[in-house]
Structure formats: C-alpha cells, structure tokens
Structure 1
C-alpha cells in the first residue's frame, strides 16, 4: 500500500511532455490591439472627422468625375473614386471583391444610379488633390494592379476607404476603422457618450484617446473654441439675440429672440440639440438674474463671429433637422466663422 502511494505521488511530480515546450503562436499578423498602438492610426490633417464632410446625393447631377463616393450599406460603408459618368450611370475605380471570387481586387465598375437606392454620399475634403489629379492617381493604381495582379488588402489597414482617400489626398485613412477602434476602447466610449449624449464640454476630450479621429490642427482649433470665457448673466444687458448661452443643465444653445424682459428675469426662445436625441429643437426658457446662466464670450477681434441676424438665420434653417455627431457642436457652428466652414449640423 505504501509503495502504491509513493508511486502515485511520484507520478504527480512528473510534468506532462506537452508542458515542457510552448507551441508556436497562432496569432495573426495584425490585430485590433496592435492596430490601436500603431502610430499610423493618428488622423492626419485634412482627413479627420472635422476636416471632412459626407453629403448625401439625390441625383446623378450631384456626382462629378474625381469625387470620392461612399455607398452606405448595412453595417458598413464602401468607397470608390468616380472616373466618368453618362446619362444614368457612373464608373468608379474601387477595391472590391468580384462576384464568385474571394480575393479583393482593384476594379473598374459601372454603377447605375437608380440601382444604388440613393444611399450614396460624396466626401468633401478641406485639403485634397484636384479632381483630375484624383482620377489620374486612381487610374495609375488600377493600371499598376493589372500589370502586377497584386493588392495587399487588409480590412483594418488597407481597405477600400484607404484606397479612395489615398487617391483623393495622398494619405491613407479609414475613419470607419478609426471609429471602430475608438468604440472598442471602454474609456474612450464612456467619454464619447458623456460628450455627445449628455452634453459635457468637448474640452474634456482626451488627446490620446481621440488622436485617431481629430487631426492636430483641428484639435488646436477646437480647444481654442471651447476654452472661451463665460460671463454670468445677471442683468438685461447681458443677453441679446444671437448669443450662445449655457448652464449646468443646459448644453450650449443659440438665443433666437428675447421676447420678455423684466427687472427679475427674461424669457427667451432658444435653439439647441435635443438632450438625448439627434435633432435641433426650439424651446422657450426663463432666465433669472441670479447668474445661473452664462454667456460664452465670443467677441471680436479674438473670434471671427457672424452678426446676430446671420446667427439667427443659420440656426433657423436647420431646426428639426437631424444633428451631426461632429465634435464641433451646433451652437458654435451658428456663431463662429471658423476655418472648417464645410461642416454643417445636418
């Protein structure tokens, strides 16, 4: 009996042969984690979500050769470069998978506008090549592929959006991937919800977490906009039509009209983003002269601003429209003549 116990104890101390060495890793060459640490994901000047704007098109006349077009599909977007068009269709060069094949190729394909169900947008860049140069760049890539038959496609590092942005700007960028990387980072997602849904100031954004969405030039501009002084509203003279106001429970709003003034308070009509929605709405509020409300001190010459009537017109024309998720919010867009003039809240 003692001998059997001893033999069992000795067997316990013998290591399994499979534990004496490590198996080769089956980890793929690329991963989301590795991509997140890669410095190449940083948004470059001219390609970030503030520099660019997607504009939906409703007719073929709104599409021109040289445009970077986006096809909105369920769960993702597909990108290409328009090289020519005719009466009811247009030709694009794109990185896509041909029918019946598994490999991604650079192809020249004809798209019938009516068959696209109008789910098409055109990307407008702040900085880009001319449309003729863009066509030439896309055509050169297409001809190069036909000669070599090689295209190193990667869904995160070299997809159809990388190809199209390279042709238009000379820089490879995929905002789809950048947004995905941001959203799978828990800290980043929490901050994004705080700012975009709860109305916290964008100035709380973490540079490191959002470097893949906003380029350095735009981040510097945004910080200057959001670091403005705030003046407490304590008397009638402190509030006028066209002002931007806020308080602890109210995100930035545009004053459309002051329709009642007394020694104790004023009543105003304001335009703002819905608190938990994505539309621009109007509402009437009462402002007591107790300093609870503040006015953002956007004054010349420090800031280049629209006059009050223009602020009113810019706000009024987008009321009831869907609001953008762009980091520069609606009220500041109405007030400021900043460099990113192609942005709009709809």
Structure 2
C-alpha cells in the first residue's frame, strides 16, 4: 500500500470496479477509506464505515476520480464524510455509495450509475407507460434530467 500512499491524497474520490457497477469511497490516508458499505460485501446493506484499502478494493482495479470544481476542499470532504459515520440508511436508488461521495464533495446527492440505468430504461420503454416525470426524477435521486410528459 505504501506505493499508493505516495500518489494518493487524503480526500481523493476512489472508484473500484465490481461486477456490473463501480463502488465509491473517500481516501483518508494511511491505507484507510471511508465509504457507504451498502452492498459492497454482499446482499446485506451496510453503513457508512472506515475500512482498509484491501477491503475497499477487494483486489479490483481502483482509481482516483478527479474533481476540478469541488464545492468542498479535501479536508472539508473528509469532515463531511466522517459526519455520517455509522449512518445505516443505504438505498440502492436514492442513497448509495456514489450518492454519498457526491454529497461529501459537492453537497448534492447524485449517482451517475443510477441516472444512466433510469435513462436506459426510459429509452427502452421499460416503464410500461405508467411512470410520471416526477416519479422518474425521484427514482434517479433528483438528478438534472427531466422528462416533460408522462411515459
């Protein structure tokens, strides 16, 4: 892990690959990562926790996602993340690990992964014409896109 310590900075947004999705955390330094454990370890949802690098990455490729226009500094990002330690309100669609990290960095909960899935489902007509634009916005965690008519 020492090699990574020299390249990483505390407050970096870490992304690690999983089967079919990515998992997100904030690097705290000294081989520690804070993340919404959610479904990272299986089907049981878990809380916001601090873990070590190996547990977070699970041996998968892990990289730093750059943020050039952060709302909060790296130090503030870590403080915000720590303020939610032990929170146990994980929700795959509305409060997942990516929502958590974006809230820590930007003050807004959002998940690009959830948005992309919702957009795909809408484009494929998989909601069966029963979901309103308001409901769709709620499903994707109040992200920036809107659908102007009932689907």
Above 0.5 in TM-score?
yes
- State which structure, 1 or 2, has the greater radius of gyration over its C-alpha atoms: 1
Residue aligning to 2:25: 80
The answer on whether the counterparts of 2:15 and 2:23 sit within 8 Å (CA) in structure 1 is yes
Give distance in 2, aligned partners of 1:116 and 1:102: 17
> 1:160 deviation in Å?
0.6
> 1:180 deviation in Å?
0.7
Gap change, CA 1:104 and 1:212, over 3 Å in 2: farther
Please tell me whether residue 179 in structure 1 is matched to residue 116 in structure 2. Answer: yes
**Match 2:106 to one of 169, 191, 200:** 169
Residue aligning to 1:134: 77
Q: Give the alignment of 1:275-314 within 5 angstroms.
A: none
The answer on whether the counterparts of 1:165 and 1:173 sit within 8 Å (CA) in structure 2 is yes
Give distance in 2, aligned partners of 1:126 and 1:158: 24
The answer on whether the counterparts of 1:72 and 1:120 sit within 8 Å (CA) in structure 2 is yes
Gap change, CA 1:100 and 1:174, over 3 Å in 2: closer
Question: Which stretches in structure 2 are left out of the alignment for 5+ residues?
Answer: 126-142, 147-151
The answer on whether the counterparts of 2:33 and 2:53 sit within 8 Å (CA) in structure 1 is yes
Tell me the secondary structure at the aligned position of residue 11 of structure 2.
coil
Give distance in 1, aligned partners of 2:42 and 2:120: 33
Residue aligning to 1:212: 145
Please tell me whether residue 159 in structure 1 is matched to residue 96 in structure 2. Answer: yes
> 1:62 deviation in Å?
2.8
Residue aligning to 2:32: 91
What value does the CA root-mean-square deviation take over the aligned residues?
2.9
The answer on whether the counterparts of 2:17 and 2:60 sit within 8 Å (CA) in structure 1 is no
Question: Which stretches in structure 1 are left out of the alignment for 5+ residues?
Answer: 1-58, 189-209, 214-346
The answer on whether the counterparts of 1:68 and 1:165 sit within 8 Å (CA) in structure 2 is no
The answer on whether the counterparts of 1:65 and 1:131 sit within 8 Å (CA) in structure 2 is yes
Residue aligning to 1:107: 49
The answer on whether the counterparts of 1:162 and 1:172 sit within 8 Å (CA) in structure 2 is yes
Give distance in 2, aligned partners of 1:73 and 1:154: 18
Tell me the secondary structure at the aligned position of residue 164 of structure 1.
helix
Gap change, CA 1:94 and 1:179, over 3 Å in 2: same
Please tell me whether residue 66 in structure 1 is matched to residue 8 in structure 2. Answer: no
Tell me the secondary structure at the aligned position of residue 91 of structure 2.
coil
Give distance in 2, aligned partners of 1:80 and 1:139: 12
Please tell me whether residue 122 in structure 1 is matched to residue 67 in structure 2. Answer: no
Give distance in 2, aligned partners of 1:101 and 1:187: 27
Q: TM-score, normalised by structure 1?
A: 0.32
The answer on whether the counterparts of 1:67 and 1:122 sit within 8 Å (CA) in structure 2 is yes
Give distance in 1, aligned partners of 2:90 and 2:41: 17
